[in-house]
Chains A and B, each alone.
Chain A
Amino acid sequence: MSENIIKVTQVKKYFGGVKALDGVDLVIKKGEVHCLAGENGCGKSTIINVISGFYTPDSGTIEIDGKEYSKLTTQQAIEAGVQVIYQDLSVFPNLTVRENLAITMEKSSERKFISRKRYDEIAKQALSTIDFQIDLDEYVENLTVADKQLIAISRALLYDAKLIIMDEPTTAITQKEVKNLFEVIRRLQKKGISVLFVSHKLDEVFEIADHFTIFRSGHNVYSGPTKELTQALFTHYMTGRDIEEEPFEYNEKDGAKTVLEVKNLSLKDGFKDCSFSIREGEILGITGLLGSGRTELAETIFGVHKADSGQIFLNGQEVHFNNVRDAMAAGIGYVPPERNVMGLFMDQSISDNISVTRWDDCRKGIMMDQSEIDTLVDHWVGELSIKIGNASDTMRTLSGGNAQKCVLAKWLALDLKVLILNGPTVGVDIGAKYDIYNLTKKLADRGLAVIIISDDIREVLLNCNRVLIMRRGHLVDEKQTKGLDEETLSRLSVEY
């Protein structure tokens, strides 16, 4: 018996030339909520995949509950009591909710045959742990990311685990669900179960964690109890620089044109009667709960859906977009929340992903001008400090946060009039968040109209001059952010 549930010593893992882990240590005590923090691409998900037996480390040792494993397999890790909620969720899109919840459990108890009755029992039990309601017969591919995340969470909590690893489990779910999850974590902790928690949301990690380990570029930079750490210190360890956020100041210029105006726009099962406008240089926030219609509104402006009624004006001219191409041609850019589904070609190169919107411009006659593309890509990789191995590697090799930066780069490379960012900093580290904020402010200063859709109240307050509140398909309120405090705005967005 050991007092540590896990002890990782000097683990190295290289992917080709990328040193994802370059000799890191990680010790988690029993009954401890341990936060693993660090910038995007510092190796958090990689160490998690090593502990779960999915990656074989190049060197180093892993000890689970005092037992050292030379070549850990996923099956062994599960048997040893390690459960993981992966960053990419690892659910099965083609199977029903019931089966998703039950199959891993049944697999690890080495069942050879399927029993519908047991499936049912396991699934119900899983949902009850976090008080989550959903149709068990629905196929997971038809669910929202939030629901998928909740499925991944409830599936992991089912086990009689000794260590539950959560790799950014709260990126899509709402505050209420986060609260439920935290209650469960505290309950687990009382039973002596350890939790390894990864999240880029500072308030969350400071609320729940007892102990911190911070990585930077595959190395350890800090390990210690939460009470010895302040947010500023934490940021410093993580990024190696000091960050001070300044609120956005909108310089209202006389005669600033209205760029985009939306009048009485309605879409069945999406939103109803939405009207708003945005001027050059403004950053407009739209906040509201998940499922309030905010994404549908943005997608309609971007030409994904066709509105049932209402009008959209761009620079005073009414526009009708039949598809996304029309909207892009008119100068509208949209960064979607589900980047790996809508925003990126995961199996194409990083370079292609960033430059794809500009291919028409990067030409020499009928040939592609590779050197111009390279310059473009280098520029944006530098500007957003995207951490990549090689621009010709596939998108899949990037860490979650760096992939998000690539989506941004792709749109920023275009010459736009309106840029809509939907959840632009979900899963992005604080340093990068800061960079993205600064960049949007710079773009707004140059006259771009920016719309930020976000449920991060702080983000909206710091970066927008105006905020719209959306509730159940309606735009219910509009506020200037100056003088508005977090509490008021957060209450406004959840009221009813």
Chain B
Amino acid sequence: MSIKRLTKKTEFYVAIILIAFCLLVQVRSGQFFTPNNIVDLLRSLTIPMMFAVGEMMVLISGGVDCSFPAIASLSMYFVTTKMDGMFSSPIPYFLVAMLLGLCMGAVNGFIVAKYRFPAMIVTLGASSLWIGVMQGILGSSEYPLTSALYRLGEAKILTGTNAQTGFSSNLPVHFGFAVVLVLIGWFILNKTMLGRGIYAIGGDEVAAARAGFNVFGTRMFIFCFSGAMAGFIGVCRASMMMTVNPNNMIGMEMDVIAACVLGGVSLVGGKGSVLGAVLGTALMTLVANSLILLGIPTVWSRVFTGLIIIIGTGVSAVQEKQRKNTLHVAVSEE
């Protein structure tokens, strides 16, 4: 890829800002490139990054999913409270949660794909519905984590220790899951006809149907995939936190969507990359977690994230406008 084309990509700018920010924090605090800080960041990145992969697929297809935190919470809360202690392996918990998530995603997908209702409205509605179901039927209090998942939460890939301060942090295995999920997302979107179909549908649904793509099936797949992933991520979250809290994922949808958009995923569909979504999420996480190192109180973190989103999306809007206004006439010299 030529340099000129590279500099037209949002991913490129997000990566530059990301690096600049890291350097800034390092220069100001000297604490950025320390093993425990890096591990902490990767740890906080784990859950949002996984959500971002599912969300970006929905966004690329021209939809939006606001219900994944609700799906994640409900599936997670169901398996951890109703199946508490039933299995000694964590796998059944994940499978059941994914199945529940898939079913809830399928409901979204069916309504959106079949009746062509706006995805935003459908998933917002679904979100209230699932949270209501959870709180009404299952309750909404904290609950001790079942032992199989607790043990998984203790498993770690590595430990980062700061030689000076002696502080150390563990990188949980869940980060490994996130990496695998990102790779799966990348593979589907770039290497399979299904993934290219998602881009095609997001670009022009009619053209996609005429080319023989199954628009209904593809939309169903996307919402089912996003739902199943939400179930999986919900259980990951609980086992990472080592406690069952049904409410602490609620509201994450806005941050995840914002992170995707920041990374160049288009809200009207058709555009975006896994790399962009990951970079966008990384930038948001980084800002939220590193302000303290810059001496800025954490209460300001939302202000900063807000600013980044506004500036980031503003820049892409301006770029888009400029692109549309460029002229190409070869004027001869006479």
The answer to whether B210 and A305 touch across the interface, beta carbons within 8 angstroms, is no
Q: How far is the CA of A112 from the CA of B187 in the complex (A)?
A: 12
Contact with A along B309-334 (1 / 0, CB 8 A): 00000000000000101111111101
Chain B residue at smallest Cβ distance from A472: B332
Q: Is the CB of B193 within 8 A of A142?
A: no
Compute how far the CA of A270 lies from the CA of B192 in the bound complex, rounded to whole angstroms: 41
A117 CA to B245 CA, complexed, in Å: 49
User: Which bucket holds chain B's interface residue count?
Assistant: 35 or more
Q: Which residues of A contact B209 (CB under 8 A)?
A: 54, 74
Contacts of A111 in B (CB 8 A): 193
**A391 to B: closest C-beta gap in Å:** 24
How far in angstroms is the closest Cβ of chain A from B100?
28
Question: Assuming A74-B210, A92-B204, A305-B327, is B193 touching A112 (CB within 8 A)?
Answer: yes
Which residue on chain B has the smallest CB distance to residue A108? Answer: B212
Cβ of A296 under 8 Å from chain B:
yes
Q: Is A420 an interface residue (CB 8 A)?
A: no
Interface residues of B in 205-262 (CB under 8 A from A): 206-213
- The answer to whether A268 and B327 touch (CB under 8 A), given A52-B210, A54-B209, is yes
Interface centre among B203, B266, B327, B329 (most CB of A within 10 A): B329
Q: A208 within 8 Å of B by Cβ?
A: no
Within 8 A of B (CB), among A249-306: 267-272, 291-293, 296, 305
Cross-chain contact A269 with B328 (CB below 8 angstroms):
yes
Q: Is A123 an interface residue (CB 8 A)?
A: no
Residue from A93, A99, A270, A272 in contact with B196 in the complex, judged by beta carbons closer than 8 Å? A99
What's the minimum C-beta distance from A77 to chain B, rounded to whole angstroms? 9
Decide yes or no whether A5 CB sits under 8 A from chain B.
no
Minimum CB–CB distance for A477 against chain B, Å:
13
Asked if B210 and A270 sit within 8 Å, CB to CB, the answer is no
- Chain A 124-161 against B: per-residue CB contact (8 Å), 1 yes, 0 no? 00000000000001000010100000000000000000
Q: Is B128 an interface residue (CB 8 A)?
A: no
**For residues 1 through 31 of chain B, which have their beta carbon under 8 Å from a beta carbon of chain A?**
1, 5
Q: Tell yes or no: A370 within 8 A of B by CB.
A: no
- A471 to B331 alpha-carbon distance, docked (Å): 8
Interface residue? A86 (CB, 8 A)? yes
How many residue pairs bridge A and B at CB < 8 Å? 108
Q: Are A107 and B193 in contact (CB under 8 A)?
A: yes
CB < 8 Å neighbour of A473 from B190, B213, B266, B332: B332
B271 / chain A contacts, CB cutoff of 8 Å = 94
CB nearest neighbor in A for B208 = A92
Which residue, B195, B202, B210, B266, has most C-beta atoms of chain A within 10 A?
Answer: B210
- In angstroms, Cα B329 to Cα A103, docked, is 30
Q: How large is the interface on A (under 10, 10 to 19, 20 to 34, 35 or more residues)?
A: 35 or more
Residue among B204, B327, B330 with the highest chain A CB neighbour number at 10 A: B327
Tell me if B82 is interfacial: C-beta within 8 Å of chain A: no
The answer to whether B327 touches A92 (Cβ under 8 A) is no
- Is A267 within 8 A of B327, CB to CB? yes
Q: How far is the CB of B236 from chain A (nearest CB, A)?
A: 29
In the assembled complex, the Cα of A270 lies from the Cα of B204 at a distance in Å of 30
Majority SS at the chain A contact face: loop
Q: Are A272 and B204 closer than 8 Å at their CB atoms? A: no
Q: Does B279 contact A (CB under 8 A)?
A: no
From 72 to 94 in chain A, residues with beta carbon under 8 angstroms from any chain B beta carbon are 74-75, 78, 84, 86, 88-94
Is B200 located at the chain interface by the 8 A CB criterion? yes
Q: Is A178 an interface residue (CB 8 A)?
A: no
Cβ 8 A contact of A84, one of B195, B210, B213? B210
* Interchain CB contact under 8 A, A90 and B192: no
- Complex Cα distance, B332 from A471, in Å, reads 8
User: Which residue of chain A lies nearest to B270 when distances are taken between CB atoms in the complex?
Assistant: A94
Determine if B51 is an interface residue (Cβ-Cβ < 8 Å). Answer: no
* CB of A247, distance to nearest CB on chain B (Å): 31
Q: Is the CB of B327 within 8 A of A269?
A: yes
Q: Is B175 part of the binding interface, using a Cβ–Cβ cutoff of 8 Å?
A: no
Asked whether A92 and B210 contact (CB < 8 A) given A137-B5, A270-B327, the answer is: no
In the assembled complex, the CB of B185 is this many whole angstroms from the nearest CB of chain A, namely: 15
| A26 contacts chain B at the CB level, 8 A cutoff | no
Q: A92-B200, A296-B329 are in contact. Are A114 and B192 (CB under 8 A)?
A: yes
Is A414 part of the contact surface with B, judged by Cβ < 8 Å? Answer: no
Write out the residue numbers on chain A whose beta carbons fall within 8 Å of the beta carbon of B334.
474
Chain A residues whose C-beta falls within 8 Å of the C-beta of B195 in the assembled complex: 114
CB nearest to A272 among chain B residues: B331
- Whole-angstrom CA separation of A271 from B206 in the bound complex: 37
**Contact of A95 with B by CB under 8 A:** yes
Contact with A472, one of B200, B328, B331 (Cβ below 8 angstroms): B331
Partner of A103, one of B1, B5, B196: B196
Residue numbers of B with Cβ under 8 A of A are: 1, 5, 190-197, 199-200, 202-204, 206-213, 266, 269-271, 323, 325-332, 334
The 10 lowest CB-CB distance pairs between A and B, nearest first, are A473-B331, A94-B270, A90-B207, A94-B203, A472-B332, A269-B327, A92-B203, A104-B211, A75-B212, A293-B329
Binding site for B on A (CB under 8 A): 52, 54, 74-75, 78, 84, 86, 88-95, 99, 103-104, 106-108, 111-114, 137, 142, 144, 267-272, 291-293, 296, 305, 471-474
Provide 10 A-B residue pairs closer than 8 Å at the C-beta atoms, listed in order of the A residue: A74-B210, A75-B212, A90-B207, A90-B210, A92-B208, A93-B270, A104-B211, A104-B212, A107-B193, A291-B330
